[in-house]
Amino acid sequence: MLSKKMEDALNKQLNAEMFSGYLYLSMSADFETKALTGFAHWMAVQAKEELEHAKKFYHYILERGGKVKLAQIDAPKNEWDSPLSAFSDAYEHEKKITKSIYELLELAQQEKDYATQEMLQWFVKEQVEEEAQTQLIVEQLKLIGDSKNGWFALDHRLSKRE
């Protein structure tokens, strides 16, 4: 059984994961309008992944006898100046999510909630991957600069994400 404090924190994280999906879907739409379909595809895949993360929290809360409390999802930004701007925002967002996962883990440790600590280890590992992927693309975009040829080459590569 989850404590009320843990249940509330997990519901807050569920909302953050839903917002993540919403944010990446917004980035995908912005890339689509700019004919950068590979970038759009990468972000659409990321949006789907984030919604899967939300479902993990949803099911975990229910499995532990908690009550899922869906909250309003804030509207994300809907336009970026460049691929670098979008991916920089994505990287900063992933760092924010990592911080919130760590805070959840700290709470679970304080409450001696071993089951939640175990569940959160998956997210700790996942966030290492999420940050590394977005940081790599940010660094590549910095190298490319304003080169349209570079953008199109990276756009083509990102269209291959499964």
pLDDT of 105-120, one tens digit each?
999 999 999 999 999 9
Half-sphere exposure of 91 (CA within 13 A, CB side): 16
Mean pLDDT of 124-150: 97
CA angle 136–158–125, rounded 5-degree value: 50
Owning domain of residue 37: 4-71+80-158
**In this structure, what is the dihedral angle of CA atoms 39, 42, 44, 45, given to the nearest 10 degrees?**
170
Q: Residue 147 maps to which CATH number?
A: 1.20.1260.10
pLDDT for the residue 63: 98
What's the domain count of the chain? 1
**In this structure, what is the dihedral angle of CA atoms 32, 38, 39, 44, given to the nearest 10 degrees?**
70
Distance CA 102, CA 137 (A): 24
pLDDT band, residue 131 (cuts 50/70/90): very high
Can you give the pTM of this predicted structure?
0.95
